[in-house]
Amino acid sequence: MKRLRGTRSTARGRLVELDFVRGIAIIMVMGFHFHTVRTGIPAIAAIEYPLKSFGREGVNLFFTLSGFLVGGLLLRQYAQTGRIDARRFIVRRMFRIWPAYYVLILFHVLVRRHPLDTFLWQNLAHLQNYYGTSIAQTWSLAVEEHFYLLLPALLLLFARWHIRANALIGVLVALCVAVLAARSVAVAHGELADAFAFTQYRIDSLLFGVLLAALYWMKPDAYRRLAARVGLLVAVVLLLVAWLVFATPHFALDESLGYTLQAIGFCALIVLVLEHSHRLSGSRIYRAVAWTGLYSYGIYLWHSLALAPGDFLIHRSTALGLPPVVVWGIAIVAQFAIAIGLGYLTTRAVEYPFLRLRDAWFPDRRAAAPVAGGGVTAVEGQLS
């Protein structure tokens, strides 16, 4: 595969285009969660509408992007050698995810913001998506943790059976269909909360990203043909937008078929941004969104701490008689600033030092390996 046209950012060999996608996702999540006031101003309502109406779908975008990037870490190795180093992969994932995550848990233990039995054992066991947690945003991290164990195990079986690209893609498609069927049955029985959070009902959002990674690393000609069909990619993204606008309020439909359609649409969005947004990547807005995406994991972990200050500012500003639009502006700017600031500080203070230790103790051995077709190492740098 020829080198992507994406522009490398300066941080850890990353692609600014993929950080831009991640930035979109975290802005959606923050906008959905942050507290505001009604202003009665149509322009403000238009800004809030996509965030409050379907901002939680930013988590689904995170899932699909993670499947593409993390799946690529393993599939590149599998495509080159016919095997994977599952142990090294899992250890490197632990260094990437666990330090910042457990610092968050320790913080909540020390400050006693929630009773311990509402989050501690659930989060320590990575079962919070099944048993609930008062640190509500961490439910999706459990799904990803389970995915990090499932995917290497699946590829180890493929390596033992010498399964190659077409058969691997077929198995992944079959798994996505099976997950959709199981989720639809759960929804039909009224188990909407389970369909939303349980790993066996949500992992297809990640597996679609793995499917895209399989094309990228194992069938580069097919990926290039897909990437060249700009009209098709744009049409799929527009259909995704139409689904979000018109169908997501219908929970039973959205939590069954909807998650599958969103994953397909997000795959198209990833390819479109990765391959065709390079002309925009020098703009200030694009770079600002991508910079936010660079710190998205830390922001995701800590953004709930911005809610209480937001409420305080809303109450104080309202008590002072400030106009609703001013109260809205103060609250939303403060919450974004606090969340992004916390994400930046914790990433620099916790995540990056542990990544340096990881790279010293467990270096990525694939860095020196030749890439089939002259492919791109920067895609791996996003989550390695």
The answer to whether residues 152 and 89 touch, using CB atoms and an 8 Å cutoff, is yes
Nearest C-alpha neighbor of 276 from the set 3, 1, 2, 6: 6
Nearest C-alpha neighbor of 18 from the set 2, 31, 6: 6
pLDDT, one tens digit per residue, over 268-318 is 999 999 999 999 999 999 999 999 999 999 999 999 999 999 999 999 999
pLDDT at 101 over 50: yes
Q: Which amino acid is at 116?
A: L
pLDDT, one tens digit per residue, over 175-222 is 999 999 999 999 999 999 999 999 999 999 999 999 999 999 999 999
- Residue 67's φ and ψ, nearest 5 degrees, are -60, -40
The answer to whether residues 344 and 296 touch, using CB atoms and an 8 Å cutoff, is no
Residues 6+ apart with CB under 8 A from 259: 60, 180, 183, 202, 204, 205
Nearest C-alpha neighbor of 71 from the set 171, 145, 155: 155
Name the percent of the chain lying above pLDDT 70.
Answer: 92
The answer to whether residues 16 and 6 touch, using CB atoms and an 8 Å cutoff, is yes
Maximum pairwise Cα distance, the chain? 70
Name the percent of the chain lying above pLDDT 90.
Answer: 85
pLDDT at 13 over 70: no
Range from 33-47, 69-83, 366-380 carrying the lowest mean pLDDT: 366-380
Q: What is the pLDDT of residue 81?
A: 86
pLDDT, one tens digit per residue, over 219-250 is 999 999 999 999 999 999 999 999 999 998 89
Q: What is the pLDDT of residue 379?
A: 56
- Can you tell me the distance from the alpha carbon of 199 to that of 195, in angstroms, rounded to the nearest whole number? 9
Mean pLDDT, rounded, for 346-364:
96
Residues 6+ apart with CB under 8 A from 260: 176, 180, 204, 208
Q: What is the pLDDT of residue 14?
A: 76
Q: How far apart, in Å, are the Cα atoms of 265 and each of 167, 171, 201, 340, 376?
A: 23, 21, 18, 27, 23
pLDDT, one tens digit per residue, over 22-36 is 999 999 999 999 999
Q: What is the pLDDT of residue 82?
A: 85
* Continuous H helices in 162-258: 165-188, 192-197, 199-202, 204-218, 220-228, 230-246, 251-253
